[in-house]
Amino acid sequence: MNWSTEDRSVHIHSDESGRSLTLTPAEKKLIEQSWLHAENKEELVGEVLKRLLMSNEAIRKIFNLHECPDDQLCENEAFKRHVKGIELFLGICVDSLRGHSNRLVNTARTIGKRHFYFARVVFDAEYWLLIREIIVDVVTSKQRPKKAPQVRNAWTKFLSFVIAEVKHAFLREQHKKNTMPRNDRRSMRRLSQRLQSELDFYEHRCSYLTMCCPRKVS
């Protein structure tokens, strides 16, 4: 059973992996507020990606940005596209806590399946843990010192579940390819298109909300 309300805890269960996530009302609120109240999400995610790329040359090659100088990363078009994709993914994950918990599992698992078909990607646990730690560090750094430890704990718990689902889907896809007849493998590639549909939906939703609820200018 998956459910979410303003004043109740959130319980999310993955039928595929058997894994569950339970967030208290306070943890849910901390995650939502720290993300939704971020003044510039694109800048926040850009900081995440830049730190990630500068921490590991192998990761830089995965993103195909190993030939881009550090001081030119933020102006690179590929970098900007990656930032947008990560921003949309995190937005979908946080939005899923508002009564759309199935979407969280589905999106995480689609990410895992899709990454399996990227030629340069292998599921390196250290790489995904590094992503989690950098996201948590950057989000936490934007919070008031008094709330920072609670925000860190909530996001760590949240992203640990998300990344575990990504990993499970990636490894299951790998197993399917190794055991499935060649003629059936083509149909598996179609699964990688599901995430794009989800991202398109979320991007359209964000654009609609921006038009309907413009920010007040003081």
pLDDT in tens, 117-171: 665 555 567 788 899 999 999 999 999 999 999 999 999 999 999 999 998 988 8
Residue 87 lies in a domain: yes
Residue 5 lies in a domain: no
What pLDDT, on a 0 to 100 scale, did the predictor assign at position 211?
Answer: 44
Residue 45 lies in a domain: yes
pLDDT in tens, 57-88: 888 888 889 899 999 999 999 999 999 999 99
Residue 41 lies in a domain: yes
Residue 42 lies in a domain: yes
**Contacts (Cβ under 8 Å, ≥6 apart) of 177:** 116, 185, 188
Domain that holds residue 58: 23-207
Residue 46 lies in a domain: yes
User: Which CATH number belongs to the domain containing residue 53 in this structure?
Assistant: 1.10.490.10
Number of domains in the chain: 1
pTM, two decimals, is: 0.76
What pLDDT, on a 0 to 100 scale, did the predictor assign at position 159?
Answer: 96
pLDDT band of residue 41 (cuts 50, 70, 90) is: very high
Residue 194 lies in a domain: yes
For the segment 21-28, the average pLDDT, to the nearest whole number, is: 96
What pLDDT, on a 0 to 100 scale, did the predictor assign at position 5?
Answer: 46
Residue 15 lies in a domain: no
